[in-house]
Amino acid sequence: MKRISLSLLLTCLGLALIVYLGYHNLFSQAEPPYDDDQEGLSGQIVFKFSHVVAENTPKGQAAAKFAELVAQKSKGQIQIVVFPNGSLYSDIEEINALKDGQVQIIAPSTSKLGDLSPKWGVLDLPFAFENYEAMQSGIHGDIGQALLDSLQEDELIGLAHWSNGFKQITTNKGPIKEPADIAGQKLRIMPSEIIREQFHLLGAATVEESFNSTYNLIETGQVDGEENTISNIYSRKFYNVQKHLTISNHGYLGYAVMMDQKAWNQQTESTQQILLEAMEETTDWNDQNASKINEEQLELIKQKSDIQIYELTAAEKQQWAEKMAPLYEQFRETIGAALLEDLDKLQESYEEKP
Ligand code: LMR
């Protein structure tokens, strides 16, 4: 009996040795040859960046640029993984996803931030900015900074403003030339009190739904139209389900890039520095790129569709601005006198000289 147990034990030990040697050999062969590009990869930091528009839009391209710059500056140690098209979270869900730590960076349209602070409404005021230059002075100056700072009250860090551009109007009931032309229509809008009031003032009804449901709302006739930038109209192919496009440039559409305070505080100083530097470079780059994309995509809409395009004349724009002017007084208290004074000064300095 003892002899059997001893030989069994020796067989088991032998087998264990063979398995160990085989295993060890297999893994030492699988190990890749040394490559200094891979140095430190094991400690890689990954940030998820979620947004709701397509990759060929100002926000889509800025997010990709930011990811590229962060990878470059951190030598591959920090990776920004971008999830476009609302593939992770819709615009209605993304702030909660950020707060819950499901994603680390988002860039919602500033019109969707009214629940955080009504001050954001200043950027929704009709004809707030005379042109691109005025818009950039506004969002990168005192007005923009005060808004980013206000995010701290919600334990969020405002990293930058990325502009998209000016909003235009698309509809199936047109053409829209005068403010009266929009009365009686139903439009999909972003969830913003000022945008809602703007259209109610013009006699239109509004539906506040997510960006990704807009095409379907138009296609199924639940709304007549919507307002958006050319790049959003182009990338979502609204031109296929809309008959009229009015180039009105009546309002701003742009994004506040943000992180959750807790997630930010967990980063080392050097990671924070890399994120800030990459963000600054991306923001400068986006200022040029966004207007270029909107211009190019207007040409593409003309080539690819039969949508009727009408551009408001200066006199017609003036008529729209006058019609919507009461909103400035109506929202004075909500937005706060300080921000409105800053906007007033900005508007004076960019007023078109006759
Ligand atoms: C919209 O909802 O129409 C836009 O805010 C979408 C976007 O993020 O540009």
Whether residue 229 contacts residue 296, with contact meaning beta carbons closer than 8 Å, is answered with: no
| Ligand 1 proximity of 246 Cβ (cutoff 6 Å) | no
**206-234: burial string, b at 16+ Cβ within 10 Å, e else:** beebbbbbbbebbeeeebbbbbbbbbbbb
**Structural domains in the chain?**
42-350 (3.40.190.170)
Q: 31 pLDDT exceeds 50?
A: no
The pLDDT, as a whole number, for residue 43 is 78
3-state DSSP assignment of residue 295:
helix
| Ligand 1 proximity of 52 Cβ (cutoff 6 Å) | yes
The reply to whether the predicted model has a pTM over 0.75 is: yes
215-243 pLDDT, tens digit per residue, is 999 999 999 999 999 999 999 999 999 99
Q: Which of 112, 190, 217, 258 to mutate to test the pocket of ligand 1 (most atoms within 8 A of CB)?
A: 190
The closest residue, in CA terms, to atom 1 on ligand 1 is 211
| Ligand 1 proximity of 232 Cβ (cutoff 6 Å) | yes
The pLDDT, as a whole number, for residue 316 is 96
Q: Which of 49, 51, 52, 92 to mutate to test the pocket of ligand 1 (most atoms within 8 A of CB)?
A: 52
Q: 101 pLDDT exceeds 70?
A: yes
Angstrom distances, CA of residue 196 to CA of 75, 99, 190, 200: 46, 27, 8, 6
| Ligand 1 proximity of 211 Cβ (cutoff 6 Å) | yes
Q: Write out the H or E segment, with its range, that includes residue 206.
A: strand 205-208
The pLDDT, as a whole number, for residue 171 is 98
| Ligand 1 proximity of 190 Cβ (cutoff 6 Å) | yes
Whether residue 42 contacts residue 35, with contact meaning beta carbons closer than 8 Å, is answered with: no
- With pLDDT > 90 as the criterion, what percentage of the chain qualifies? 86
